[in-house]
Amino acid sequence: MQHRIVIKIGSSSLTTTEGGLNREAVSFFASELADLRKAGYQIVLVTSGAVAAGFREIGYQERPKLLHEKQAAAAVGQALLMQTYREALVQHGISAAQVLLTRSDFQNRKRMGNASMALEELLGRGILPIINENDTVSVDELKFGDNDTLSALVGNLIKADQLLILTDMDGLYTKDPRHDPHAERISKVTEITEEIMGVAGGAGSSVGTGGMRSKIEAAKIASRGGVVVFIGKADTAGDLLAGAQGRGRGTYFDTRNAALPRKKQWLGFLSTPLGSLTVDDGAEEAIILHGRSLLPVGIRSVHGHFQTGDVVEVQNRSGEVLGRGIVNYDSDQVQQIMGLPSSEVMKLLNDVHRLEVIHRDEWISLKP
Ligand SMILES: Nc1ncnc2c1ncn2[C@@H]1O[C@H](COP(=O)(O)OP(=O)(O)O)[C@@H](O)[C@H]1O
Ligand SMILES: N[C@@H](CCC(=O)OP(=O)(O)O)C(=O)O
């Protein structure tokens, strides 16, 4: 199979100093993407820039800050953004497709499957998929700047080998270099620790959203899918190929040993818990330290209404989140059987198909 790469281009790399869309930057990236394809890489592009491309046309003097204004600007700008990409790519004989996704598309396994099939078909036919968040309907994105997260989710979805997150900074530094001239670049990260999370700050420019922090969160998600992540800069010919070949100007996150099976990726990062269970110390030790299934006896309380097969969050008695799992009972049944040993559960419920409330194969630990 061809080497697959997801490339994410942030607003900071696509805007002029006045905040509008920088057409020259789009042309530059089109030529870089063409070179990567010539070198044999299969590519999916995740691009920001819709708000930047649209706000002037609808009469705002500067990049809007209010949600509904950003949504309106993105609605105008997305068309212009795509048109600009298409015009630039056609010069290199590349045909592009627009794919707009929201976070909720990934929370639903069926919709995720549909997106995956469409992307495979486009790639199979040599089309370049260009993805952006569907900003007009996606409240969270515009608030948190989730195109970094989106690119990581896309990377996992299409089983990419690499994710290149391009920004205005040539990698992760020990401090935000805009505020600390003594900050040093970290060239390789093999484990995303609390310390690494701690060095990352917020957005550096008025156009970017999320800053390094959201890029590292994205690296964390992608690493769970076995994707190598590069965060860096590309503004000179050959930079993108260098990034793909492991000699880019930036930081590489090679944490593939943290990879998880697909179902567990979904459980941990995309599913929406419909309730929660509080467990006692013994149950916490069994599920966290010994990798056992969660039995009724260790459950102390139940919150929310859920059905068999739904996802719930599990927390300890101090309220710390331990992980998520798929339940074998609905919330009323868990109320009935919590705290009981398995022999009592069997007597109480006529139809016991599984004794575990959450089986260890349907569980993901989220404890740091
Ligand atoms: N530790 C750090 N190392 C490098 N950059 C950092 C760090 N902490 C915060 N930043 C900021 O993150 C910014 C990049 O994120 P952002 O503005 O959201 O860009 P984009 O639009 O490309 O997603 C940089 O311009 C930089 O100021
Ligand atoms: N979806 C938005 C991107 C929001 C944003 O600023 O993201 P980013 O530049 O990746 O931090 C747009 O196209 O304008």
Q: Do 77 and 225 share a structural domain? A: yes
Q: Is 264 helix (H, G, I), strand (E, B) or coil?
A: helix
Ligand 2 atom closest to Cα of residue 53: 14
Q: Do 198 and 319 share a structural domain? A: no
Cβ(138) – ligand 2 distance below 6 Å: no
Please give the pLDDT value at position 3. 94
Q: Do 311 and 167 share a structural domain? A: no
Please report whether residue 121 resides in a domain: yes
Question: Using alpha carbons only, what angle is made at residue 243 by residues 239 and 247, rounded to the nearest 5 degrees?
Answer: 95
Cβ(145) – ligand 2 distance below 6 Å: yes
What are the beta bridge partners of residue 28? none
How many Å apart are CA 165 and CA 284, to the nearest integer?
Answer: 37
Q: Do 340 and 207 share a structural domain? A: no
Cβ(168) – ligand 1 distance below 6 Å: yes
For 52, counting Cβ atoms within 10 Å of its Cβ (0-12 exposed, 13-18 middle, 19+ buried), the class is: buried
The region, left, alpha or beta by phi > 0 then psi within -120 to 50, assigned to residue 212 is alpha
- Let me know how many helices (H) and strands (E) the chain has, helices first: 14, 13
Q: Is 240 helix (H, G, I), strand (E, B) or coil?
A: helix
Global ipTM: 0.95
For the cut 60, the answer to whether the pLDDT of residue 157 exceeds it is: yes
Reported confidence tier of residue 136, pLDDT bands at 50, 70, 90: confident
Give the mean pLDDT of the chain: 91
Residue from 11, 39, 5, 46 nearest 25 by CA: 11
Q: Do 277 and 351 share a structural domain? A: yes
Query: What angle separates helix 262-269 from helix 211-224, to the nearest 10 degrees?
Result: 150
Please report whether residue 267 resides in a domain: no
Residue-wise pLDDT tens digits, 6-55: 999 999 899 998 889 999 999 999 999 999 999 999 999 999 999 999 99
The H or E element that residue 129 is part of is: strand 128-133
Q: Binding-site residues for substrate, please?
A: 48, 135, 147
Q: Tell me, what CATH number does 318's domain have? A: 2.30.130.10
- Domain final residue, candidates 196, 229, 261: 261
Please report whether residue 284 resides in a domain: yes
What are the beta bridge partners of residue 252? 188, 230
Please report whether residue 324 resides in a domain: yes
Please report whether residue 266 resides in a domain: no
Structural domains counted in the chain: 2
Cβ(49) – ligand 2 distance below 6 Å: yes
How many Å apart are CA 76 and CA 72, to the nearest integer?
Answer: 7
Q: Do 241 and 133 share a structural domain? A: yes
Give the list of residues 6+ apart from residue 157 with CB closer than 8 angstroms, or none. 106, 112, 115, 116, 119
Among the bound ligands, the one closest to the CA of 51: 2
Instruction: Show the domain range for 154.
Output: 4-261
Q: Tell me, what CATH number does 183's domain have? A: 3.40.1160.10
Q: Do 353 and 243 share a structural domain? A: no
- Domain final residue, candidates 261, 291, 326: 261
Question: How many Å lie between the centroid of ligand 1 and the Cα of residue 94?
Answer: 30
How many Å apart are CA 22 and CA 320, to the nearest integer?
Answer: 45
Q: Do 253 and 290 share a structural domain? A: no
Q: Could you say which DSSP state residue 247 is in?
A: -
Among the bound ligands, the one closest to the CA of 189: 1
| Torsion over CA: 342, 305, 139, 111 (sign) | positive
Please report whether residue 325 resides in a domain: yes
- Specify the residue with its C-alpha closest to ligand 2, atom 3: 48
Ligand 2 atom closest to Cα of residue 133: 1
Q: Do 349 and 211 share a structural domain? A: no
Please report whether residue 255 resides in a domain: yes
Reported confidence tier of residue 146, pLDDT bands at 50, 70, 90: low
Structure tokens given for 59: 């009469």
Q: Do 189 and 322 share a structural domain? A: no
Cβ(197) – ligand 1 distance below 6 Å: no
From 9, 29, 48, 134, give the residue whose CB has the most ligand 2 atoms within 8 Å, as the site to mutate: 48
Reported confidence tier of residue 203, pLDDT bands at 50, 70, 90: low
Residue from 322, 337, 324 nearest 286 by CA: 322
Residue 301 phi, psi dihedral angles, 5° rounding = -155, 160
Residue-wise pLDDT tens digits, 91-124: 999 999 999 998 878 877 788 889 999 999 999 9
Question: How many Å lie between the centroid of ligand 2 and the Cα of residue 10?
Answer: 6
Q: Do 185 and 51 share a structural domain? A: yes
- Domain final residue, candidates 212, 238, 261: 261
Alpha-helical regions (H) of 188-308: 194-199, 211-224, 239-244, 262-269, 281-284
Q: Do 247 and 333 share a structural domain? A: no
Ligand 1 atom closest to Cα of residue 214: 18
What does pTM read for this prediction?
0.82
